[in-house]
Chain A
Amino acid sequence: DVKVTQSSRYLVKRTGEKVFLECVQDMDHENMFWYRQDPGLGLRLIYFSYDVKMKEKGDIPEGYSVSREKKERFSLILESASTNQTSMYLCASSFEIRGTGPSNYGYTFGSGTRLTVV
């Protein structure tokens, strides 16, 4: 089974701290994503990466940055954590499913990191 592993399940940080959320996948997937989940808003895309050292902004990139130095690892960075970044963060990776019609991707999600900024 493909695994997407997020390093921490729960995290508590202070306002102004620099925070790193780590995500590792073990199946050589090209694409990786960071989402945040808030009640009533669903999952919103923060950043994604389609290759090593490549990154693209998602829908809500403000206050975040990312790093992808190796294919299997995608890090989300909160440069200066604020209380409005308290949320559940989910990492995902995707792979192309060939032979099933037009370009189609399957997605695997990590278990999430619940971050509280105090």
Chain B
Amino acid sequence: AQKVTQAQTEISVVEKEDVTLDCVYETRDTTYYLFWYKQPPSGELVFLIRRNSFDEQNEISGRYSWNFQKSTSSFNFTITASQVVDSAVYFCALSEAAGNKLTFGGGTRVLVKP
């Protein structure tokens, strides 16, 4: 069965600090997809990134970057120069290709203080 673990339940930083969110996953499939979602206080889930298991290139999008390490089954997310608007709960999720179901980690609450 697939499983996603986000060991950090809450991270508090001061604005402009970098913050890295850890995500470790388990799956028996060789083909799978990894996702990150942001959930601001308003409650909706905002899609950030999808990565398939065949693509281990790291990705950068503005202040966001992702590090996919298949060898350690990790898909970590870094916010560079954090801002107050980054305060949210962030979820890592996994989908096995055949199953089409998302399995979520427990989420990491990020609090960015001014």
Contacting residue for B101 out of A33, A104, A106, CB 8 A? A33
Main SS of the interface on chain A?
A: strand
B9 CB-CB contact with A under 8 Å:
yes
Closest-by-CB residue of B relative to A9 is B43
B97 CB-CB contact with A under 8 Å:
yes
25 A–B contacts from the bound complex (CB under 8 Å): A33-B102, A41-B106, A42-B104, A42-B106, A42-B107, A43-B91, A43-B102, A45-B101, A45-B102, A45-B103, A90-B45, A92-B102, A94-B100, A100-B52, A102-B52, A102-B54, A102-B97, A103-B97, A104-B33, A104-B50, A105-B100, A107-B47, A107-B102, A109-B45, A114-B43
Q: How many residues of B contact A (CB 8 A)?
A: 28
CB-CB under 8 A from B50, the residues of chain A are 104, 106
Expressed in whole angstroms, the Cα–Cα distance for A45 and B43 within the complex equals 17
Q: How large is the interface on A (under 10, 10 to 19, 20 to 34, 35 or more residues)?
A: 20 to 34
B residues sitting closer than 8 Å to A (CB atoms) are 4, 6, 9, 31, 33, 35, 37, 42-45, 47, 50, 52, 54, 91, 93, 95, 97-98, 100-107
Contact A40 B47 (CB under 8 A): no
Expressed in whole angstroms, the Cα–Cα distance for A104 and B103 within the complex equals 15
Q: Known contacts A109-B44, A111-B44: does B52 contact A101 (CB below 8 Å)?
A: yes
Closest-by-CB residue of B relative to A43 is B104
Expressed in whole angstroms, the Cα–Cα distance for A89 and B54 within the complex equals 33
CB-CB under 8 A from B4, the residues of chain A are 42
Closest-by-CB residue of A relative to B109 is A39
Closest-by-CB residue of B relative to A88 is B43
